[in-house]
Chain A
Amino acid sequence: MLLELAKRVPELTLLILITILAYAIMGWGSQIAGTAVLSADAAWFIVVASFVLSTGIAIIAVLGGVGGGVIFTPIMLGFTSIDTLLVRATGLVVAMFSGLVSSGPFMRRGLADIKLVLYCSIPIIIVAMAGAKTAILMADSMGETGDAILRLLLGLVLIFVAAIYILGGNKTEYPEPGKIDGASRKLQLRSRYWEESLHKVVEFHATNAVLGGLLFLAVGFTGGFFGLGGGWAIVPVLNVVMGVPLKVSAASSGVLLAIGNAAAVWSYITKGALIGVLAAPWMLGQIIGGILGAHILTKIRAAFVRSILIVLLLLTSLKLLARGVEALFGIDIPLI
Chain B
Amino acid sequence: MTIGKNQDPVEIPRSGIVYGDIVYWTTIAGAFLAIVGSIITFVTTNNYIDPNYLLSSIWEGKGVAAIWRGVEGVGAPPDGHWYLGQITTGNGLTMLGLVLGVFSVIPGLLGASWILLTKEGMPPYAGLALVAALITLFAMIA
Interface residues of A (CB under 8 A from B): 11, 15, 18-19, 22, 25-26, 29-38, 43-44, 46-47, 80-83, 85-86, 93, 96-97, 100-101, 103-110, 112-115, 118-119, 121-122, 125-126, 174-177, 187-188, 191-195, 198-205, 243, 245, 255, 258-259, 262-267, 269-281, 283-284, 287
Contacts and interface: CB of A to CB of B under 8 A. Distances in A.
Given A32-B52, A284-B31, A274 B105 contact: no
Q: Is the interface of B mostly helix, strand, loop or mixed?
A: helix
B90 to A, nearest CB: 8
Nearest to A112: B16
Contacts of A258: 23, 105
Nearest to A109: B12
17 contacts: A34-B52, A37-B56, A83-B61, A103-B24, A108-B12, A109-B12, A114-B16, A118-B112, A121-B132, A125-B136, A126-B135, A174-B3, A198-B3, A262-B106, A265-B102, A272-B78, A276-B98
A203 B139 contact: no
Contacts of B62: 83
B139 A266 contact: yes
B81 A22 contact: no
Interface in B33-61: 34-35, 37-39, 41-45, 51-56, 58-61
Interface of B: 1-8, 10, 12-13, 15-17, 19-21, 23-25, 27-28, 30-32, 34-35, 37-39, 41-45, 51-56, 58-64, 67-68, 77-83, 91, 94-95, 97-99, 101-102, 104-106, 108-109, 112, 116, 122, 124-125, 128-129, 131-132, 135-136, 139-140, 142
A244 B61 CA distance: 43
Nearest to A39: B56
Q: Is the interface of A mostly helix, strand, loop or mixed?
A: helix
A178 to B, nearest CB: 10
Contact of A113 (B16, B34, B82, B83): B16
